[in-house]
Chain A
């Protein structure tokens, strides 16, 4: 469903991605692992069109999207959940969801606020609370819910477990598996190997803007030297 080939991108004049290739299919959770600064967020932003792709391709459902503006990409059914959450702090939970609202689309689950409250029960009790007055974990759930309101077929989750308490991380894992169950394609970036092992089917390791490993979670689990080299200190 999502196919990235030899992607390069820059922040200003800093060359961040040096030819990234990866793919992800429907009903699959793929983890993009790497230490901070490795380029994980930039991969997500470049796929989404928020950082211009300097070279390379992004294919979504067989369509080239690397030159499209972000809103067109979102309307094709690719959802993006940023690392820094970017909740609209002045808007209530319901209003945050309203901003994400898009018409239902074929081949994707149609979400409503109520369905999302079933997926993220914490949010159900705070419909009218402004986004700025929520805890980090609640904000994280809200950003995911907000993106799901667009009924995407594929979601990019940038470090969903970062800075969350262990119990919230567990809920997050549960929710991600629920999305997979709905047939969504999920690409998530992570530093947390344990969390990734709990939810992902496959993994890529990125380091210094280049993919160093691609394979199943089991392969990664059995290769201690790989983990040492790219993920540990």
Chain B
């Protein structure tokens, strides 16, 4: 079985400073891979090269066997990559249902109509997705007034709208109340496993990482220093040194 996402030898420098150097990993369908590391380790840079926001200096990013380096974010989305953002990005003036419908209309290529009324189509599909993330009861509220944890759920529903093969989640639980965090990630994990979606996520909350990830890779100063199952990573002396400081 080929991996859904395969990254080989990824490189990126900013003004002569290496931000990401020779990073390689793969994510399989239905697998949750956590990317962790201290501040400034290169997690965001790495992430942004996968979603099309940054173009790598070198390396290969394959989505289901096809190279996606150099594609725009919207082209990558069309190839089946859903995203959630560290700071939630939803359409504040639209209702929860309309947010999800927007993704569905876009997926179906039906946004260019000037005279039909938006919202007539895909209502049932949108409600189905909202039901999956537990947001159906708030479908008519504008996103601008939702609680933060609920926005994260809406984002998840939008990310699932194009039936993605890969889900990129940047700090999925940042800014949430502690008790909501594991619940959200459990939900994402359940949906991903059921739909055989590969998930790559970065995360600060170690409870979330160690309870939900199938595998963990650790980035420090742009390089992968460890990778493996949660117990393996927890026992790795390099990782402990990075997290507790001291002499590197």
Contact = CB atoms under 8 A, between A and B. Distances in A.
A194 interface: yes
Tell me the dominant secondary structure on chain A's binding face. loop
B174 A166 contact: no
Interface string B49-88: 0000000000000000000000000000000000000010
B180 to A, nearest CB: 10
Contact of A191 (B39, B171, B177): B39
B206 A194 contact: no
Contacts of B177: 15, 18
B148 A231 contact: no
23 contacts: A11-B175, A13-B175, A14-B175, A15-B175, A18-B177, A18-B178, A35-B204, A35-B243, A36-B38, A36-B39, A36-B204, A38-B204, A162-B39, A163-B39, A166-B247, A166-B248, A190-B245, A191-B243, A194-B245, A195-B245, A231-B244, A233-B36, A233-B243
Interface of A: 11-16, 18, 35-38, 159, 161-163, 166, 190-195, 208-210, 227, 231-233
A208 B178 contact: yes
Contact of B175 (A16, A162, A233): A16
Interface residues of B, number: 32
Interface string B221-246: 00000000000011000011001111
A18 B181 CA distance: 14
A23 to B, nearest CB: 23
Nearest to B202: A37
A16 to B, nearest CB: 6
Interface of B: 36, 38-40, 87, 146-148, 151, 171, 174-178, 181, 204-206, 209-210, 218, 233-234, 239-240, 243-248
Contacts of B240: 232-233
A47 B40 CA distance: 24
A159 B218 CA distance: 21
